[in-house]
């Protein structure tokens, strides 16, 4: 059996990766439509040796579509996904538009695949930093519940889209020539700089990205008691995010046991060479499916604490791969 798939936002950073993953993972594809804004309509993109014509999204775009993979921003998702779901498609949405709605499953396949059963046509793909964190710490949480998470993120330009990635490259080259370029996509210069995450500020002085980590992690883990605080920072890295994570458990968690658990956890690759001071780096995580985890150590400031460091490809597991894995899960469990 094959499935008719539409990619909404096919020209974007995540859309491009979605196409690559469908080909690479030999997804059982029937018809494939590539949808974007009117700006891109009529242009062509390559897929599996063929050229596909980009269509601007419209009311009939979802006729006879089984699966919509959407990554075109929140307002586009809000406008079109209810229409697609009504037409009978199952939509997997990368935006934050539906994530916290109670009837919308928010899924990391390694953590809560069973949540897919209750879907009503829209499934949300979590925020990228949340996905990477969830994959790395859920195996520990399953053995001993986590009481509190303190995270600091080092987030790449890719999270702000393909144009932001391009801006960092152009800005870097200009600065090396002695120029002082003005940023156009990101709010501040990112080349040779960093800034606290540029998502909108909320009433409690956390930015939206930080609150996504708090609220989404609780929803994915199905644990509203877990305490979470985060500081999110944009760094001049192109496509992989990093996170420094402090975990506090209710009781001491032996670091050797944690290492053993993570060495066999699905979706995790332990990268640790303490002698060489070699640990996960964004350049090593880029293009990889696994979340790289390392620098596990007992927290010397708290008897129940563990420290770890992780890097994961934001476009891949942080977005496109997780979405394709959700689609594969729907097929495997006959939920489509």
Would you give the DSSP letter of residue 183? P
Q: Select from 118-126, 157-165, 215-223, 315-323 the region that touches ligand A2P (CB under 6 A).
A: 157-165
Q: Which residue's CB is nearer to ligand A2P, number 141 or number 317?
A: 317
Q: Is 139 in the site for ligand A2P (CB under 6 A)?
A: no
Q: Is 15 in the site for ligand A2P (CB under 6 A)?
A: yes
Q: Is 9 in the site for ligand A2P (CB under 6 A)?
A: yes
Q: Of these, 18, 20, 22, 57, which contacts ligand A2P (CB under 6 A)?
A: 57
E strands within the chain?
3-8, 29-36, 44-47, 50-53, 55-56, 67-70, 90-93, 122-124, 146-155, 195-196, 227-234, 240-249, 268-270, 291-298, 305-313
Q: Is 235 in the site for ligand A2P (CB under 6 A)?
A: no
The answer to whether residues 138 and 245 touch, using CB atoms and an 8 Å cutoff, is: no
Q: Is 37 in the site for ligand A2P (CB under 6 A)?
A: yes
128 is catalytic: yes
Q: Which residue's CB is nearer to ligand A2P, number 44 or number 254?
A: 44
Residue in the block written with tokens 């709605």: 101
Of the residues 119, 141, 197, 241, which is catalytic? 241
CA–CA distance, 67 with 235 (Å, rounded to integer): 34
Q: Is 161 in the site for ligand A2P (CB under 6 A)?
A: yes
Query: From the CA atom positions of the chain, what is the Rg in Å?
Result: 20
Q: Of these, 33, 40, 95, 144, which contacts ligand A2P (CB under 6 A)?
A: 40
Q: Is 320 in the site for ligand A2P (CB under 6 A)?
A: no
Residue 12 known to bind ligand: yes
CA–CA distance, 58 with 80 (Å, rounded to integer): 8
**Shortest Cβ 299–ligand A2P spacing (Å):** 37
Residue in the block written with tokens 């993972």: 25
CA–CA distance, 6 with 228 (Å, rounded to integer): 36
Residue in the block written with tokens 């600091």: 152
Residue 325 known to bind ligand: no
C-alpha angle 141-136-334 in degrees, rounded to nearest 5: 85
**Shortest Cβ 53–ligand A2P spacing (Å):** 13
Residue 32 bridge partners (DSSP):
5
Length of the chain: 336
Q: Which residue's CB is nearer to ligand A2P, number 9 or number 282?
A: 9
Q: Which residue's CB is nearer to ligand A2P, number 79 or number 254?
A: 79
Residue 77 known to bind ligand: no
Q: For residue 132, which of 2, 333, 8, 314 has the smallest C-alpha distance?
A: 314
Q: Is 318 in the site for ligand A2P (CB under 6 A)?
A: no
- Supply 272's token pair: 């640790």
Of the residues 91, 119, 128, 141, which is catalytic? 128
Q: Is 36 in the site for ligand A2P (CB under 6 A)?
A: yes
**Shortest Cβ 74–ligand A2P spacing (Å):** 10
Residue list, annotated binding site for NADP(+): 11-14, 39-40, 158-159, 181, 314
Catalytic residues, by residue number, are 128, 241
Rule CB under 6 A: which residues touch ligand A2P?
A: 9-13, 15, 36-37, 39-40, 57, 72-73, 76, 161-163
């Amino acid at each position: 059996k094959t499935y008719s798939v539409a990619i909404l936002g096919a020209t974007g950073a995540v859309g491009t990766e979605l196409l690559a993953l469908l080909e690479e993972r030999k997804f059982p594809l029937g018809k494939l439509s590539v949808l974007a804004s009117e700006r891109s309509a009529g242009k062509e993109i390559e897929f599996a040796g063929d050229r596909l014509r980009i269509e601007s999204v419209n009311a009939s775009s979802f006729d006879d579509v089984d699966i919509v993979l959407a990554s075109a921003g929140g307002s586009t998702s809000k406008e079109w996904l209810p229409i697609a779901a009504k037409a009978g498609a199952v939509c997997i949405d990368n935006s934050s538009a539906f994530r916290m709605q109670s009837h919308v499953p928010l899924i990391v396949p390694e953590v809560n695949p069973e949540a897919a059963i209750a879907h009503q046509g829209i499934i949300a793909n979590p925020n990228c930093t949340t996905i990477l964190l969830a994959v790395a710490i859920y195996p520990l949480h399953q053995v001993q519940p986590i009481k509190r998470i303190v995270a600091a993120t080092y987030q790449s330009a890719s999270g702000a889209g393909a144009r932001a990635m391009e801006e960092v490259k152009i800005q870097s080259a200009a600065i090396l020539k002695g120029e002082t370029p003005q940023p156009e996509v990101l709010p501040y210069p990112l080349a040779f700089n960093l800034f606290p995450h540029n998502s909108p500020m909320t009433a409690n002085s956390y930015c939206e990205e930080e609150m996504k980590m708090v609220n989404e992690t609780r929803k994915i883990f199905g644990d509203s008691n877990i305490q979470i605080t985060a500081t999110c920072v944009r760094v001049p890295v192109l496509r992989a995010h990093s996170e420094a994570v402090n975990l506090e458990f209710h009781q001491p968690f032996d670091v050797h046991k944690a290492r053993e658990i993570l060495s066999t956890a699905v979706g995790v690759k332990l990268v640790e060479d303490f002698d060489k001071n070699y640990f996960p780096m964004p350049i090593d995580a880029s293009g990889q499916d696994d979340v790289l985890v390392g620098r596990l150590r007992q927290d010397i400031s708290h008897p129940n604490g563990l420290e770890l460091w992780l890097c994961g490809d934001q476009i891949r597991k942080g977005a496109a791969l997780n979405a394709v894995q959700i689609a594969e899960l729907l097929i495997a469990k006959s939920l489509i």
